[in-house]
Amino acid sequence: MTADSAAIHRCVTAAVARMSNEPGPLLEILHSVQGELGCVPAEAVPLIAEALNLSRAEVHGVVSFYHHFRERPAGQHTIQLCRAEACQAMKGDALAEFAKQRLQIGFGQTREDGKVTLEAVFCLGNCACAPSAMIDGQLRGRLDSEALADCVKSWGVPA
Ligand code: FES
């Protein structure tokens, strides 16, 4: 068992011990694992499945269904761009295209230099200030490409 494997095993075991008797514990366990490890690594899936008497496919299905869960750790910075209707209607599509071009990655990806992860989210509850994004955990409204470009530049992402 590698050091990473040991950490994953320990993290899953602790989360299962805390939450397996709760109703519908899978999501709670996944949140806990991601909170501690920064993602839900593939190696955690069979451990969680076995502990909850589920199939690996069921656990993997939940991890991949919810955009919130990551299978790999995020980069140093995270941009979660809202792709839901109100934001799309306020030039969100153009902003999404700009983000992908500027970062040279698609949604759900991390730049090769590890500086930024770009993720799609679906409504941040900030529709009145669309288009919205969560940037390093901070809610931003009325975001435009200039503000996004400034932000990315400040992180030292080469143009
Ligand atoms: S639709 Fe984007 S914040 Fe609600």
Q: What is the pLDDT of residues 126-140, one digit of tens each?
A: 999 999 999 999 999
- Rounded to the nearest angstrom, the distance between the alpha carbon of 95 and the centre of ligand 1 is 14
Query: Helix axis angle, 44-52 relative to 56-65, nearest 10°?
Result: 120
Ligand 1, CB within 6 Å, residue ranges? 82, 84-87, 123-124, 126-127, 130, 132
- Rounded to the nearest angstrom, the distance between the alpha carbon of 64 and the centre of ligand 1 is 21
Residues 133 and 141: their CA atoms lie apart, in Å, by 7
For the segment 78-106, the average pLDDT, to the nearest whole number, is 97
What is the pLDDT, as a whole number, of residue 20? Answer: 82
Residue 3 clears pLDDT 80, i.e. is over it: no
What is the pLDDT, as a whole number, of residue 67? Answer: 82
- Contact between 69 and 108 under an 8 Å Cβ cutoff? The reply is no
